[in-house]
């Protein structure tokens, strides 16, 4: 089964209208592989701006949302609001949400369920910390995180799984292509055993963690790596190189 290569850019809490406008102009003018699905994760306050400026061939994602449609939740945004801005994706469970803001597996599961029920696509993030990898419990950790997400998914066609080893995010350390492939393959086996073979074969499992123009080609050649979630490099022109990693 061929899985469409997926490249997400997570802008995190970066940029302003000028710098993001320049980046969008670069992206709109670039020659990008038509066989790749590209989605840019903009800060909430710039979702409308990004969606109105970016070419229609690029998707836009919110970087987080809450688990209900509206209410007395100061500072939060809902999938309904995200959709109202013409945005069709949301990133959930990013390690910064988990480890900087203390979001639990349970909350991420609830957010996933509500976002999918609201018609958003979900880029669901999982990944182990350095002490967990060194302790030999990578699989245990990522399987537990994946289970909570899986328990909240009815339609897997709207889900992209992003494996991001926390020790490789923004550190300049990248998991080797072999390390990435190993975890992606194990995740696919887990999906086959716990969800279904059809889902295991069709769901896209993307890699995140210091992906650059220099590392992207070898990572993209791995059998079970179906794309990337790119942090810092998504704010630079080299993002185009990463999108075209398979070209």
Q: What is the CATH number of the domain that holds 78?
A: 3.20.20.70
User: What amino acid positions are annotated as catalytic residues?
Assistant: 94, 164
Q: Comparing C-alpha atoms, which of 104, 91, 80 is closest to residue 43? A: 91
pLDDT in tens, 55-114: 999 999 999 999 999 999 999 999 999 999 999 999 999 999 999 999 999 999 999 999
Question: Which stretches of the chain drop beneath a pLDDT of 50?
Answer: none
pLDDT in tens, 99-114: 999 999 999 999 999 9
- The total number of residues shown for the chain amounts to 247
Burial tier of 213 (Cβ tally within 10 Å: 0-12, 13-18, 19+): middle
The full DSSP string for 17-30 is HHHHHHHHHHHHHS
The confidence score (pLDDT) of residue 1 equals: 60
Cα separation of 201 and 164, whole Å? Answer: 20
- Residue 142: which domain range? 5-244
CA 167 → CA 98, 164, 174, distances in Å? 14, 8, 8
Q: How many domains does the chain have?
A: 1
């Amino acid at each position: 089964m061929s899985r469409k290569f997926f490249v997400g850019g997570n802008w995190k809490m970066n940029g302003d209208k000028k710098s993001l406008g320049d980046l969008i102009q670069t992206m709109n003018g670039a020659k990008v592989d038509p066989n790749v699905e590209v989605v840019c994760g903009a800060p909430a306050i710039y979702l409308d701006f990004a969606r109105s400026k970016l070419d229609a061939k690029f998707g836009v994602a919110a970087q987080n949302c809450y688990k209900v449609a509206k209410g007395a939740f100061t500072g939060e945004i809902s999938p309904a609001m995200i959709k109202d801005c013409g945005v069709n994706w949301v990133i959930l469970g990013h390690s910064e949400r988990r480890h900087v803001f203390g979001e639990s597996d349970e909350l991420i599961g609830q957010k996933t369920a509500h976002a999918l029920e609201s018609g958003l696509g979900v880029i669901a993030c999982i990944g182990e910390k350095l002490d967990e990898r060194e302790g030999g419990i990578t699989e245990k950790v990522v399987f537990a995180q994946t289970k909570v997400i899986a328990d909240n998914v009815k339609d897997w066609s709207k889900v992209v799984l992003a494996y991001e080893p926390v020790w490789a995010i923004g550190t300049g350390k990248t998991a080797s292509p072999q390390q990435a492939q190993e975890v992606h393959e194990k995740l696919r086996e887990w999906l086959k055993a716990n969800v279904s073979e059809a889902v295991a074969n069709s769901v896209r499992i993307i890699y995140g963690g210091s992906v650059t123009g220099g590392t992207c080609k070898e990572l993209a050649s791995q059998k079970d790596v179906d794309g990337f979630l790119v942090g810092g490099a998504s704010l630079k022109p080299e993002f185009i190189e990463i999108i075209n990693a398979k070209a």
